[in-house]
């Protein structure tokens, strides 16, 4: 816990990561980071949904929530290519399951209503926010491609990860659209804050990549820590009152966390 309150990181992963065979992180790796750096809660999806299967990702998520659900909340990664995903997700029940993660880039589909209508309908039914990776501006998986879905599901909170420039007007225009700070340079967080205000930005990191998890990893990343990420935002003049909303206040309200 920082002086600003208990950090809630909305964008973390367990499971087998894409890009290199053998790279994986466990729930215990995330808990190591939490205990070392004073994080309150993490919202976690399993990357194994992409690299292995929907079945594997859901099994990893279920086991994590059963053992560590108070600290590690579940975000079910849905791959809409899998025709069985509705049945598999329907069977995944837990009080620690708080939302949906999608990644059109890694799962290889263009963002449109045909691809994602069923996912958004489920989010509407369960009152779950959706966290999505957005690709670089101007691609078929970029932030702007979500506008029809945003209009069709005004009560589904959509978090456009990585604070791309194309996402900012959507967060300004639509009440249900938010941004996150995952792998975003501090100067871009400052730009986003000036454009949409602190109530529309949530803190994410993509942990455990780059964090000290207490053991060697297959793929080395530039070292990161929560202290470094927060210090970078402070150096851009972001106030403590804004940081309190970004680091935990907005996530607590949006995901209804205790």
200 φ, ψ to 5°? -110, 10
Q: Phi/psi class of residue 15: alpha, beta or left (left: φ > 0; alpha: ψ in -120 to 50)? A: left
pLDDT tens over the chain, length 258 residues = 566 679 999 999 999 999 888 889 999 999 999 999 989 999 999 999 999 999 999 999 999 999 999 999 999 999 999 999 999 999 999 999 999 999 999 999 999 999 999 999 999 999 999 999 999 999 999 999 999 999 999 999 999 999 999 999 999 999 999 999 999 999 999 999 999 999 999 999 999 999 999 999 988 889 999 999 999 999 999 999 999 999 999 999 999 998
pLDDT for 1 equals: 54
Q: Identify the pLDDT of residue 226.
A: 96
pLDDT of residue 3: 62
Domain boundaries, the chain: 7-254
**Is the pTM here over 0.95, yes or no?**
yes
For 128: left if phi > 0, alpha if psi spans -120 to 50, otherwise beta; the answer is beta
Work out the number of other CB atoms within 10 angstroms of the CB of residue 225.
16
Cα–Cα distance, 41 to 71 (Å, whole number): 5
pLDDT at 48: 98
Q: Write the CA distances from 129 to 4, 75, 111, 168, 247, integer angstroms.
A: 24, 9, 17, 18, 17
pLDDT value of position 220: 87
pLDDT at residue 4, rounded to an integer: 65
CATH, range 7-254 = 3.20.20.140
């Amino acid at each position: 816990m920082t002086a600003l309150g208990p950090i809630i990181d909305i964008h973390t992963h367990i499971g087998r990561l894409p890009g290199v065979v053998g790279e994986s992180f466990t729930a215990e790796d995330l808990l190591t980071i939490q205990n070392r750096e004073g994080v309150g809660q993490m919202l976690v999806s399993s990357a194994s949904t992409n690299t292995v299967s929907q079945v594997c990702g859901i099994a990893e998520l279920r086991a994590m929530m059963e053992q560590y659900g108070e600290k590690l909340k579940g975000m079910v990664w849905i791959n809409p290519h899998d025709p069985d995903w509705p049945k598999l997700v329907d069977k995944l029940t837990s009080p620690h399951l708080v939302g949906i993660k999608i990644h059109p880039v890694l799962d290889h589909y263009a963002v449109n209503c045909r691809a994602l209508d069923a996912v958004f309908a489920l989010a509407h039914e369960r009152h779950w926010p959706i966290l999505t990776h957005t690709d670089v501006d101007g691609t078929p998986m970029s932030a702007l491609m979500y506008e029809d879905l945003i209009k069709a599901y005004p009560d589904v909170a959509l978090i456009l990860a990585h604070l791309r420039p194309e996402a900012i007007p959507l967060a300004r225009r639509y009440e249900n659209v938010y941004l996150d700070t995952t792998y975003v340079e501090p100067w871009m967080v400052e730009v986003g804050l000036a454009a949409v205000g602190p109530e529309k930005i949530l803190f994410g990191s993509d942990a455990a990549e780059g964090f000290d998890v207490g053991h060697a990893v297959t793929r080395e990343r530039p070292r990161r820590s929560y202290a470094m990420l927060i210090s970078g935002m402070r150096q851009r003049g972001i106030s403590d009152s804004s940081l309190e909303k970004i680091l935990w206040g907005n996530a607590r309200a949006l995901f209804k966390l205790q």
